[in-house]
Amino acid sequence: MDFLKLIRYKNLLMVLLTMILTKYALIKSFLKETYLSHLDFTLLALSVVLITAGGYIINDIFDVEADKINKPNTIFIDVTISKKNAWKTYYLLTLLGLIFGVYLSFNKQLPYHSFYFLFTIIGLYFYSKNLKRKVLLGNLLVSILCVFVIYLVFSYDFRIDNNDDELFAIRIDIIFVFTYIIFSFLTTFIREIIKDIEDINGDLKLKAKTLPIVIGRKRAAKVAFFCSSLLLFFLIIVIQFLQDNYLFLVFGIVFLIFPTINFMSKLWTAKTKKDFSKLSNLMKVIMLFGILSMLLFTIN
């Protein structure tokens, strides 16, 4: 059980759910024939999940000292698993993930897609080692990597071999894919800033230069509030576009817009570590509802 917590199994399930719904709910709603078979998709999902799990391990390896302050009750490195074994597990999971990703890329005649996996591995390593302690660099990198979860499924599954008329006919549906990509980026970026505010004490010990350390906790919270305002505006625009679809309209208002407004109101008054911890969890709920909205495409 400690190992599952080490690799953040709940987050991995969220990643897997996102990939499954992207392929079998969102993309399938506008493409009758796709390029990824069930086996191909399984290899892609395994690759992403394994590399992500490795990223969580390497993050904990480099964050042992900070975690002793930020979350002393959830430390696993050198407590339930030695640092040596943690490194071995990281190498094993990452290597397997890379092998699956490279094999799939060459098998589907998309060799350059191999660089997505390589970039992710390198990005996660340097994020954990030092980029997460740099102003906004770590936040932006994690947000981009989270976008890959949706984009990879789309880039492997969608290729059009026919004429431009067919592409024109489905271009609106493709826009929905990129709508989820923008949603994923914004929610992840906001949550990363909130987590930096929450972990400010441990980061100070490591002499990190995260946003709340550089500009202060209150100003960092205002940056997160501004980004939340952009998210809210984005959601309103999307729902306005879908206003003729009653199901999307109700779901969007109840499960996305109202929770986002609630998040912003709590963020405006947040002060303690506990407050920001609750906000981090609330944003995760918003992210979950956003991903679950893909199921609506199977109904319409």
Q: Which range marks the domain in which residue 75 is found?
A: 2-299
176: amino acid identity, one letter: F
SS3 77: strand
Whether 169 has a pLDDT exceeding 70, the answer reads no
DSSP codes of every residue in 239-277? HHHTTT-HHHHHHHIIIIIHHHHHHHHHHHH--SHHHHH
Query: Please, which pLDDT band fits residue 241 given cuts at 50, 70 and 90?
Result: confident
Query: Average pLDDT of 67-96?
Result: 85
Range name among 30-34, 83-87, 110-114, 192-196 with the lowest pLDDT average = 30-34
Where helices occur in the chain by DSSP H, the ranges are 2-6, 9-21, 38-62, 64-70, 83-107, 114-129, 137-157, 164-198, 200-205, 211-215, 217-241, 246-252, 258-269, 273-292, 296-299
**Which segment, 56-70, 164-178, 189-203, 216-230, is predicted with the most confidence on average?**
216-230
Q: What is the pLDDT of residue 167?
A: 56
pLDDT-derived band at 171, boundaries 50, 70, 90: low
Asked if pLDDT for residue 264 goes beyond 70, the answer is yes
Tell me the range of 78-87, 162-171, 230-239 where mean pLDDT is highest. 230-239
At residue 31, the pLDDT reads 77
State how many domains the chain has. Answer: 1
210: left (phi over 0), alpha (psi -120 to 50) or beta: beta
Please give the average per-residue pLDDT across 230-251, as a whole number: 93
Answer whether residue 160 shows pLDDT above 70: no
- Quote the pLDDT of residue 272: 94
Segment 60-82 mean pLDDT:
78
Mean pLDDT over 91-107 rounds to 97
- Average pLDDT score over residue span 165-193: 84
Residue 161 has pLDDT above 70, yes or no: no
Whether the per-residue pLDDT at 1 is higher than 80: the answer is no
Predicted TM-score (pTM) of the model is: 0.93
The DSSP call for residue 136 is: T
pLDDT band of 164, cuts 50, 70, 90: low
What angle, 0 to 180 degrees and rounded to 10, lies between the N-to-C axes of helices 9-21 and 137-157? 40
Mean pLDDT of 231-242: 94
User: Where on the phi/psi map is residue 245: left (φ > 0), alpha (ψ -120 to 50), or beta?
Assistant: beta
- Listed residue (47, 59, 61) closest to 19, CA to CA: 47
pLDDT, mean over the chain: 91
How crowded is residue 107: how many other Cβ atoms within 10 Å of its Cβ?
Answer: 11
pLDDT value at 72 more than 90: no
User: pLDDT per residue over 109-129, tens digit each?
Assistant: 999 999 999 999 999 999 999
